[in-house]
Amino acid sequence: MAPEPLLRVRELSIGLRRPGSDPVVLVEHANFEIAPGERFGIVGESGSGKSMTLRAVAGLLPKGVTVLSGTVEYAGRDLLTMPASKRRALMGPDIAMIFQEPMTALDPVMRVGEQIAEGPRRHLGLSRADAHALAIDMMRRTGIPDAERRARAFPHELSGGLRQRVMIAMALSCSPKVILADEPTTALDVTVQHQVLKLLERLCDELDAALVFVTHDLAVVNQTCRDLAVMYAGKIVERGPVKEVFAAPRHPYTKGLLDSAPDFDRPKRQLIPIPGFPPNLAAREPGCPFRPRCPFATPHCAAVEPPLEPVAPGRRSACFEIDRLIAEEVA
């Protein structure tokens, strides 16, 4: 049986406050959980709410954006209702975040070694010398060559790949139990991306940490995660093991994404774009958000919103027309 979940997100809704009217709902009723050692991907396109979901877990929502309802439990405690000081104390030693663009996440006027040492000094109570030694060790473990010299560098003196390694070293310096990664390799070149993904996998395994990995890249999620959630217009529309979902998607949007993405191993396959655009989140209509672009939509889909329900062991989908989707797949 699966181990007890470490992080449990329940019915999470996130909104952008507007003066004088209801908030714009950016994420609605998101549910997922992750156990130690698991790697969970959240995929979706721009505006799907994947990054907001991750930021809500980290407590780093942008100004004006707030959690409207739901809970985010870490080890049985709700992060959203605990005092801010308690929550801050968890960030670093328990939960750590890796951002897409290290240049904006690192302090430009502080040497990278000191930045990595800051967390262990504050959270683990290490002395300056011990924290520095740990920082150097973390830099070595992330594959930074010549770590002692590089520790004295400022972020701008390092290449993009090294900066991303510094951020990973910083995030993992207090041996967190949960790692939140927001498109951590999107800004990197492909050979460096390959190195960083392998590094992240290895370090997660070493720490037995749970990884939540947000990305728009279906291939990256296939290489990194065991399970995934597909988000569309602020909702999780499909959830399940990556291999099973990719082999036989059970939501028309997931199928659309897979059909439109170039697959290196099937070069002659025709790419099929998804027609239309994502809905305007500020003017939501009733029913399924994917309905206007969906080839399987019926009048029922416009009236009632499909709930995320089990469709197979370990798999869920929010679609009324799964039978027709399967029939087409078989045909």
Partner 1 sequence: MSDAVLAVSDVHKHYEVGSGRNKGILKALDGVDLELRRGEILALVGESGSGKSTLAKILVGNAQATSGTVSVDSAPVGTGRRGAATRRIQMVFQDPYSSLNPRITVGSMLGELLRFHRIVPRNQVRAESIRLLNTVGLEEDALTAYPSQFSGGQRQRLAIARALAPRPDVLIADEPVSALDVSVQATILDLFARLQRDLGLSILFVAHNLAVVQHLSQRIAVMYLGRIVEVADTAELFANPRHPYTRALIDSIPRMSAESVNDPFEVEGEPPSPINLPSGCRFSPRCPLATHECTVVDPALITVGDRHGAACIKAETLGPYALSVPMKEEQ
Applying CB under 8 A, which of residues 35, 36, 45, 284 lies at the interface with partner 1? 45
Nearer Cβ to partner 1 (147/162): 162
Applying CB under 8 A, which of residues 161, 234, 249, 289 lies at the interface with partner 1? 161
Alpha-carbon distance of 26 to 297, in angstroms, equals: 23
| Least Å from the CB of residue 59 to partner 1 | 28
Nearer Cβ to partner 1 (175/224): 224
Phi, psi angles (nearest 5°) of residue 76: 85, -5
| Least Å from the CB of residue 40 to partner 1 | 17
Q: With CB under 8 A as the contact rule, which of the stretches 30-38, 58-66, 192-200, 312-320 interacts with partner 1? A: 192-200
Nearer Cβ to partner 1 (87/150): 150
Per-residue CA distances from 330 to 7, 84, 248, 320, 325 (Å): 37, 52, 10, 18, 9
Contact 212, 226 (CB under 8 A): no
Applying CB under 8 A, which of residues 168, 257, 311, 319 lies at the interface with partner 1? 257
| Least Å from the CB of residue 144 to partner 1 | 10
Q: Is 126 in the site for partner 1 (CB under 8 A)?
A: no
Which element (helix H / strand E) includes 283? none
Applying CB under 8 A, which of residues 98, 126, 172, 218 lies at the interface with partner 1? 218
Q: Is 220 in the site for partner 1 (CB under 8 A)?
A: yes
Contact 62, 26 (CB under 8 A): no
Q: With CB under 8 A as the contact rule, which of the stretches 147-155, 159-167, 282-290, 300-308 interacts with partner 1? A: 159-167
Applying CB under 8 A, which of residues 78, 114, 130, 217 lies at the interface with partner 1? 217
Three-state SS sequence of 129-162: HHHHHHHHHHHHHCCCCCHHHHCCCCHHHCCHHH
| Least Å from the CB of residue 162 to partner 1 | 7
Closest CA to 183 of 55, 274, 286, 77: 55
Nearer Cβ to partner 1 (78/217): 217
Nearer Cβ to partner 1 (122/140): 140
With 0-12 / 13-18 / 19 or more C-beta atoms within 10 angstroms meaning exposed / middle / buried, residue 31 is middle
- Give me the residue label for tokens 């390092």: 158
With 0-12 / 13-18 / 19 or more C-beta atoms within 10 angstroms meaning exposed / middle / buried, residue 128 is exposed
Q: Is 283 in the site for partner 1 (CB under 8 A)?
A: no
Applying CB under 8 A, which of residues 69, 127, 260, 280 lies at the interface with partner 1? 260
Token reading at 227: 């399970």
Contact 184, 196 (CB under 8 A): yes
Q: Binding string, 76-115, against partner 1, x = CB under 8 A?
A: ----------------------------------------
Q: How many CB atoms lie within 10 A of CB 15?
A: 22
Q: Which residues sit at the interface with partner 1, rule CB under 8 A?
A: 45-46, 145, 159-162, 189-195, 197, 216-220, 222-223, 246, 256-258, 260-268, 271-274, 277
